[in-house]
Structure 1
């Protein structure tokens, strides 16, 4: 298609938005439209984008990168509705900005944020399209007019609906910009498990080539440090293996009275830590609101409640999460972010840790804590010894024969673990500017900003003196290390399969006539119960593990009673299991071989504090 996607002012235009006069005008417009004064670097990017120049922005988490998107389209709409402000500049009468988001959560959160500024936005992903189909609405047709921001999931870029939308000449002429949120994931997720990122490179914009297509000298770079002086960086010894079932070094979290996120590499690890903390908690009332899991296998309604508690509830709570809560999440008052286990790269680590202390007025003592094992430290030391120097280049500069295997920690993480000063290693690795330009906006002048003039308080510069954690033992369930015996596992498996048949037969034929039996209790959930049996200490932990859908939820108490009956058998380690399979119990049945292969997807933790953006095509 040869038509230009937007009518932006020519670079040789008589008016330049990036000039001091132009920036003064745009700041005045934004201050009328927003309840705050935009940062200088936000204003800089918006003005460059209005001049038709691509913008590549790299700033710290919590610095307002989403503002590049909505501020740009707010100004465009203002100029369309007030042509006398810049009569020589032309934009479409019904402008629209396309925004590419890596996760559905980011789309929904961004829509909620921009709608506060009276922008009409629409989310297009598999879930919203399906919901629209059930309402007999064609969202692709609805998007052709009226919406100023469209949030698109990556997978939709190659769908027929999106291609048809771009082929519509009227819609094509409405497009004024394309934004890419969390663009650093192009080369981490895009080259790994999320190949849909590559589809951005085939967007029909001339400025997008090889992902974002930002050629040297043809885009404007905004580069700010991702170091946050008010953040304390700590590395602690986990004191146990990642594959264990007890984590005594984390017990302090229960008594800390601090809002905390604990990030785990896999869903399995997250469940084990959640179960351990649930069982170890001295209080039992309200645990379902105080300790919660957030991951991609949870029922969306459960994740939604967890997210609301994290974002809106000022009371201390603990969220155990995977990468599903890693990107584009802006909780204002999280005090501690904990990472259990060494991530693949230092970028992944700081993506997690960047959730702490987002609102400096509400949190002035944020901490970022990485728990590692003794083996991790040994591997890091051995790796740097083999390379000869901890200061040697980047991963790309290391010969392939010396690069660590995928199962090992990366060079960047090895350096960080053994760094004599953690903030100094962060600055060295990310190439942070020694100083950022001081922002002169009223927002920054009113806020108390943390400075790095004092001595460093990281765990490398100021080693901590921690009391050894007390080990708490499980009650009435026996040792957590004791799994189900083969006989008991087969017996419980048979009971669960029979239970599934029972609740399926009891279901209303009117509402569930075409619902498959596995929807009531899937093979995956049966395997989760069997594999994690010793950690299921209550109906609440069972609910957290299986995250019941609407078919299973009414029967969760019966399912708990069934599981609970097996605990005394495991503790006693007697031979009753041989009899149990043959005896009649509420849901007894014949032992059936359970050989269905099950894949449990863990969290994918990738990211960095950097966020790229291209404007004009505008992207952050």
Structure 2
């Protein structure tokens, strides 16, 4: 129920309402700063990491202010996920999308002032008819979710987002709250300008996701590598693959290799199959979905335990956004990238297809991504510095911090490899160059006279083992670039390396200890049978209500129930995540199970 007052509600009142609706006893991170601004009627851009509770910063004020909060969100699936969660907490919410058969009832409810939240897509919100429709009732707030889509510098630019300003200007007195997890300095400035938010309205909550373990490894056998990860991580996971063909191939092979439910997702699937696969993943507690980057922004699933990349993402921003879909519930999660030198080669080829005015920016983004992949230092520190933060040098929760790699000066080997590429005419691939450098003799080498070159046989012994990692490093940094016929040519800083003006260091990753760490990764680390029983009850209630299990309660809430074993509704209501509506709806059922133990 909206609060009608002449003075804005206080933060103390908001904290009390949050406890009642969501079951949270205190604000997290910068939530309080954002909510205070919204309640005071100030427009705000909030940059908050995924999992930091962005949706609460508009859902809570929407339940307290006079009028409806109009939420502009990019994908129907995302709106429907958030709709279920809001209604489960007792917030009056509706979506107005092309997929909703009850649109007349929604419009009537809005006109009658019976909605706290109304979710719409930017394509609808930017239309004059929608602008006319929303004049029928008071608007408390415009919330623009995934606001980096507003900016042409953002990695998910959506032109319709740039058409929202006329709507905002027509309701100039209504505050705006733009929300994103992913925006560098230039993108933030563009969002502020495009949505008419003053510079002092920026609330920067930081980008760190301490519960995610970051790891990056060279890809040699993606099916085996990802199957090993799945054995270690029994919970839900997302695997990003670069093409539709690779999505379907990986999904089929991973399902066969692991026995786990694994489904594909890409824009080429029939709409019904795509929707069914997504719905199955959202509802599942152990499914893995293999997808192109078309999948993810519309997923608000908190219990994703890992995100794997079977190739490089488009940029550090895209990597941060995609890996951020893991561990939104705050429990430990893993982000792992498997990359190959060919990934960077193809990405650099695609740069040539871009308009000239965008090439240098995109090249810089690719170079930054190469820096993340090739670093011997803390992965998290590289990520956070990219977004303008000054992190500690060691995070303790990435592969390089946990097992520091060896760094080798490979400048001389790099010069030999570049020289071989140059002297063979810059038209042969790595395999041929490797043979020339190690002194191999075959018909192809002798036919072309490459056995008579000064570089023939100049690499031997242990140095031969460096050729492949050096080739990967040179391709990642753009010093070796592919030709259209599959050869390698000199590019980037190759001339400086050959002249001895630029050094090349490569990372030799430590050998991984073999072994299945599944026991450490389960949602029930102490093996408490009560937790498993509570989870089973949650499954039954979710199936009955036709919602994903996490909409009933998160794993963390069930763990606290199993640990504290409340004996009354009052005690159960004191557990984090148990709001008033959920307590009334499910409290007795969960207490009944707890009493059995």
TM-score range, shorter chain: 0.5 to 0.7
Tell me the distance in 1 between the aligned counterparts of 2:71 and 2:358: 40
Tell me by how many angstroms 1:350 deviates.
Answer: 1.1
State which of 222, 227, 234 in structure 2 corresponds to 1:258. 234
Tell me by how many angstroms 1:405 deviates.
Answer: 6.1
- Is residue 293–residue 321 contact of structure 1 (8 Å, CA) maintained in 2? yes
Matched, 1:275 2:252: yes
TM-score normalised by L of structure 1: 0.54
Matched, 1:109 2:89: no
State which of 168, 171, 181 in structure 2 corresponds to 1:205. 171
Matches within 5 A, 1:220-259: 221-239=202-220, 247-253=223-229, 255-256=231-232, 258-259=234-235
Kindly provide the CA deviation profile for residues 422-450 of structure 1, in whole angstroms up to 9, marking residues without a partner as x. 11101110123659xxxxxxxxxxxxxxx
Tell me the distance in 2 between the aligned counterparts of 1:401 and 1:181: 26
Matched, 1:55 2:44: yes
Match of 1:374 in 2: 341
Kindly provide the CA deviation profile for residues 396-440 of structure 1, in whole angstroms up to 9, marking residues without a partner as x. xxx96982767x9623312212223211101110123659xxxxx
Tell me by how many angstroms 1:265 deviates.
Answer: 3.5
Matched, 1:183 2:147: yes
Higher helix share: 2
Match of 2:389 in 1: 432
- Is residue 59–residue 224 contact of structure 1 (8 Å, CA) maintained in 2? yes
State which of 39, 59, 68 in structure 2 corresponds to 1:70. 59
State which of 265, 268, 279 in structure 2 corresponds to 1:294. 265
- CA 1:401–1:227: 2 relative to 1, 3 Å: closer
Tell me by how many angstroms 1:49 deviates.
Answer: 1.2
- CA 1:199–1:266: 2 relative to 1, 3 Å: farther
Kindly provide the CA deviation profile for residues 453-478 of structure 1, in whole angstroms up to 9, marking residues without a partner as x. 8745424772689xxxxxxxxxxxxx
Kindly provide the CA deviation profile for residues 547-604 of structure 1, in whole angstroms up to 9, marking residues without a partner as x. xxxxxxxxxxxxxxxxxxxxxxxxxxxxxxxxxxxxxxxxxxxxxxxxxxxxxxxxxx
- CA 1:117–1:464: 2 relative to 1, 3 Å: same
Which blocks of at least 5 consecutive residues in structure 2 are unaligned? 177-191, 350-355, 407-597
Tell me the distance in 1 between the aligned counterparts of 2:120 and 2:128: 14
Matched, 1:195 2:159: yes
Q: Secondary structure of the equivalent of 2:384?
A: helix
Matched, 1:415 2:391: no
Q: Secondary structure of the equivalent of 2:111?
A: coil
State which of 403, 415, 427 in structure 2 corresponds to 1:462. 403
Matches within 5 A, 1:129-144: 131-132=101-102, 137=104, 139-144=106-111
Tell me by how many angstroms 1:231 deviates.
Answer: 2.1
Q: Secondary structure of the equivalent of 2:198?
A: coil
Tell me the distance in 2 between the aligned counterparts of 1:196 and 1:16: 32
Kindly provide the CA deviation profile for residues 96-128 of structure 1, in whole angstroms up to 9, marking residues without a partner as x. 110000111111011111112222211112222
Tell me the distance in 1 between the aligned counterparts of 2:233 and 2:143: 39
Match of 1:81 in 2: none
State which of 25, 29, 34 in structure 2 corresponds to 1:45. 34
- CA 1:163–1:181: 2 relative to 1, 3 Å: same
- CA 1:296–1:104: 2 relative to 1, 3 Å: farther
Q: Secondary structure of the equivalent of 2:215?
A: strand
- Is residue 381–residue 414 contact of structure 1 (8 Å, CA) maintained in 2? no
Matched, 1:121 2:89: no
- Is residue 281–residue 287 contact of structure 2 (8 Å, CA) maintained in 1? yes
Tell me the distance in 1 between the aligned counterparts of 2:298 and 2:16: 28
- CA 1:292–1:182: 2 relative to 1, 3 Å: same
Kindly provide the CA deviation profile for residues 524-554 of structure 1, in whole angstroms up to 9, marking residues without a partner as x. xxxxxxxxxxxxxxxxxxxxxxxxxxxxxxx
- CA 1:252–1:380: 2 relative to 1, 3 Å: same
Matches within 5 A, 1:508-587: none
Matched, 1:153 2:124: no
Tell me the distance in 1 between the aligned counterparts of 2:395 and 2:401: 15
- C-alpha RMSD of the superposition: 3.7
Tell me the distance in 1 between the aligned counterparts of 2:315 and 2:198: 27
TM-score normalised by L of structure 2: 0.55
Kindly provide the CA deviation profile for residues 377-401 of structure 1, in whole angstroms up to 9, marking residues without a partner as x. 679999xxxxxxxxxxxxxxxx969
Tell me the distance in 2 between the aligned counterparts of 1:345 and 1:32: 41
Tell me by how many angstroms 1:293 deviates.
Answer: 1.8
- Is residue 148–residue 157 contact of structure 2 (8 Å, CA) maintained in 1? no
Q: Secondary structure of the equivalent of 2:64?
A: helix
Matched, 1:340 2:323: no
Tell me the distance in 2 between the aligned counterparts of 1:413 and 1:341: 12
Match of 2:199 in 1: 216
Tell me the distance in 1 between the aligned counterparts of 2:62 and 2:258: 51
Tell me by how many angstroms 1:37 deviates.
Answer: 2.0
State which of 340, 350, 357 in structure 1 corresponds to 2:320. 350
Tell me the distance in 1 between the aligned counterparts of 2:358 and 2:139: 48
- CA 1:264–1:460: 2 relative to 1, 3 Å: farther
